[in-house]
Amino acid sequence: MRTIVMAMTASLALSILWFNATQAQVPKPPAAEIERALGTANLEVRKSPNSSASYMYRASVKLWAQMNPEALDDINKALTFEPSSAEIYGARGNVLFLLNKEEDALRDFNKAIELNPRISALYANRGVVFSKQKKFDKAMKDTNQAIALDPRVAVYYSNLGEIFYKLGRYREAVENLNKAITRDQNLGEAYHWRGLSYDKSGMKELALKDKQRAKSLGFVPDQIYTYNPGTSDRSSVQEFRHTKKN
């Protein structure tokens, strides 16, 4: 939106963030489910107290439970065991972004890219931060770099289309959103942004069709999403849960 020590580490590190101007309230999981999941994660840490993978697994559970600061603590602990892991720095950058610590997130993404400049998701996520800061030139450069490294990932084109939309360059927005939809016909936000771009271009019928398609796919405009570039899975805050009003 690549394995280091276990799949969960990579999943946390390389999930690609998507955001809009506001983020909607996401219901917190039931207390019983949180308790059960945390119990399993705590057991993993007790079994392997010197493993970065154990702490990254528990961090993922805490993020799902909306315990973002506590998740950050576990990621910091994981870094003590893997201090040269680009993936873990990328994961921490993701969580810092969710905690509204954008400059800290940028520092971690910069460090991660320095350690491994071949991970496309790191550029994509740094581009998300730049876009939120309205630094669209930097956001576009990073998103294009993500595409250059992995042109198969649909959400990269969707993010680029979103940037072009925000710049008022609607034809280029549609071109990139078409590429996103060609690669993933179930990518709700690509239809959302293409619909908005069509609307601004006066193509009202196409706009309405795309907006309806986005809604049918369960896309909610004001919500954070994560994306696993290794699959077609694009899910609403499965790992990262956060509420924010700009």
CATH number for position 2:
1.25.40.10
State whether 27 and 132 are in the same domain.
yes
Residue 41 lies in a domain: yes
pLDDT the model gives residue 21:
28
pLDDT at 3 over 90: no
Residue 226 lies in a domain: no
Residue 175 lies in a domain: yes
State whether 157 and 125 are in the same domain.
no
Give the Cα separation of 174 and 177 in Å (integer). 5
State whether 4 and 116 are in the same domain.
yes
Average pLDDT of the chain?
82
| 18, 5 Cβ separation under 8 angstroms | no
Residue 224 lies in a domain: no
pLDDT at 25 over 60: no
State whether 101 and 162 are in the same domain.
no
Burial bucket for residue 118 (CB in 10 Å: 0-12, 13-18, 19+)? exposed
State whether 171 and 76 are in the same domain.
no
| 81, 51 Cβ separation under 8 angstroms | yes
Instruction: Using the 3D structure, point to which of 90, 107, 139 is the last residue of a domain.
Output: 139
State whether 27 and 125 are in the same domain.
yes
State whether 80 and 172 are in the same domain.
no
pLDDT at 19 over 70: no
Can you read off the two tokens belonging to residue 218? 């369960």
Q: Which residue from 167, 98, 117, 112 is spatially nearest to 139, judged by alpha carbons?
A: 167
Give percent of the chain with pLDDT exceeding 70.
79
Instruction: Using the 3D structure, point to which of 92, 110, 139 is the last residue of a domain.
Output: 139
Residue 236 lies in a domain: no
pLDDT the model gives residue 223:
59
State whether 133 and 155 are in the same domain.
no
State whether 28 and 108 are in the same domain.
yes
pLDDT the model gives residue 197:
98
State whether 177 and 64 are in the same domain.
no
Tally of structural domains, the chain = 2
Can you read off the two tokens belonging to residue 68? 């973002």
Instruction: Using the 3D structure, point to which of 115, 139, 163 is the last residue of a domain.
Output: 139
Residue 233 lies in a domain: no
What is the pLDDT averaged over residues 183-205?
96
pLDDT the model gives residue 86:
92
State whether 118 and 170 are in the same domain.
no
pLDDT at 163 over 70: yes
- Stronger pLDDT, 19 or 43, i.e. the higher one: 43
pTM: 0.83
Digit-coded pLDDT (tens) for 40-89: 999 999 999 999 989 998 998 888 888 989 999 999 999 999 999 999 99
Q: Which residue from 59, 63, 27 is spatially nearest to 45, judged by alpha carbons?
A: 59
Residue 237 lies in a domain: no
Q: What is the domain extent for residue 42?
A: 1-139
Digit-coded pLDDT (tens) for 116-157: 999 998 999 999 999 999 999 999 999 999 999 999 999 999
pLDDT the model gives residue 15:
54
State whether 81 and 157 are in the same domain.
no
